[in-house]
Amino acid sequence: MKLLRLALTIIFLGLYSFSFSQTRAELERRKAQLNKDIEMINSSLQKTSTDKKVTLKELNALKAQIRLREEKIKTINSEVRLLDVEINQNVNNIRSLQNQLDQLKKDYAAMIRFAQKNQGAYSKLMYVFAAQDFNQAYKRLKYLQQFSEYRIKQAKYIDETQNALKGKVNSLNKNKNEKSNLLVDQQKEKKVLDQAEDKQSKVVKSLTSQERKLRQDLSQKQRAAAQLDRAIRAAIEREIALAKKKAEEEARAAAAKARAEGKEAPATTSTSRTSVLAATPEAAKLSAGFVSNRGKLPWPVANGVITESYGTQKIGNITKDNNGWTIRTNTSASVRAVFEGTVSRIVEIAGKNVVMIRHGEFFTIYQNLKSISVSAGQKVTTKQTIGTVGSDEDGVSEIHFELWKGMETQNPGSWLAN
């Protein structure tokens, strides 16, 4: 029973370490991605900071940098907490293994003393022949065999326990070194974060002092956003009208066929203006697939950092509304469809190319494309390249992405993969 309990303990320790390594690996991957994003935003920030004139793009880049560093610090804290749990567990495991090793050695020593003590009194052969009958002699012989096998097993488990103990001690030392390195990294990130927050305060103060100029810049952006909003709504209205016309034609055709066959015409169901977008089996399937992938849709670019989030943004005393995400990415990065669908419209708004893709009753919008590799009416697949992102005069590459359900905007954060 002791040997079985020991074997189960060693197996459990192995499985426990494996589960921890999986979680640690996920955190390490997330931290590596954050480092990559921070490096990209830092490079972009250097471009927007070359001019002495403070700009909104510099402020947005600083906000993104701060958010990424805060997330990295949280990731480091999660790693430290995991290591603390693992360190405590390893300490307990070492104590448990040491106690078991001491007990195994004590039991083994007792067996050796017993064997030495009784070796001179009579030999194994005499012990067997001294039996009263053949049955007892056989049992004594089996006992001697089992006693010998048990001694061998005890020696084997002592060796295995010593190796397990040594492994846990090494793991503990490794955990302590990793924790020490993480704490150093954490302090470094906090210092850089403080510097970034201080710089952000200065930029906000500078922009606020130039409120008139800031309002002009934001007003220009809002006009472009309003123009995009009108174009999107007009395109969706057109899609609704076409879908409604098609549904009505199909209903009339079904009714005419029923009358010709002497049957009762199928009942027509009333649908809302936007739900008619999913009236056909193909559109309904696309809509259902889009919904089932909520939170798992790929980003419109392979690598990128959000510089403007969905909703109302506040800069000093000025507020700005955003119907989607503005994502900063690499120069000439490929822009891809986040889900299968049909290219509904391609337009140019405020000098920027815009692609609109329909996914049943959902629409995705991709603004600021330098080149476009699809055409209106073309069917696209998930992650298919639809063009490349454009850059401004400072070399900053950003794509504006929006997601609509019918006539209502959606927060991309609820739909795209985290």
Instruction: Quick: pLDDT tens for 262-274.
Output: 676 565 555 566 6
Higher pLDDT, 148 or 347: 347
CA 113 to chain centre: 60
For residues 37 and 305, the answer to whether their CB atoms sit within 8 Å is yes
pLDDT at 289: 94
CA dist 265 to 73, 243, 251, 268, 270, Å? 65, 21, 9, 9, 15
What is the phi/psi pair of residue 252, to 5°? Answer: -65, -40
pLDDT tens-digit profile of 39-67?
Answer: 877 777 666 555 545 567 777 888 888 88
Q: How far apart are CA 362 and CA 1, in angstroms?
A: 63
Across the range 246-253, mean pLDDT stands at 75
DSSP state of 297: B
| Banded model confidence at residue 120, pLDDT cuts 50, 70, 90 | very low
- 410 beta partners: 403
For residues 9 and 100, the answer to whether their CB atoms sit within 8 Å is yes
Tokens 């739909």 locate to 415
Q: How far apart are CA 392 and CA 368, in angstroms?
A: 10
Is a pLDDT exceeding 90 seen at residue 342?
yes
pLDDT tens-digit profile of 93-114?
Answer: 667 767 766 776 776 666 666 6
For residues 327 and 366, the answer to whether their CB atoms sit within 8 Å is no
pLDDT tens-digit profile of 134-188?
Answer: 676 666 656 556 655 665 666 666 666 666 667 666 766 777 777 777 788 888 8
Domain 214-414: what homologous superfamily?
Answer: Glucose Permease (Domain IIA) (2.70.70.10)
**Domain boundaries along the sequence of the chain:** 2-209, 214-414
Supply the mean pLDDT for the chain. Answer: 77
Helices (H), 210-312: 211-260, 281-292
The single-letter code of the amino acid at 15 is: L
Tokens found for residue 235? 């395109």
C-alpha torsion angle, residues 361, 378, 350, 371 (rounded to 10): 140
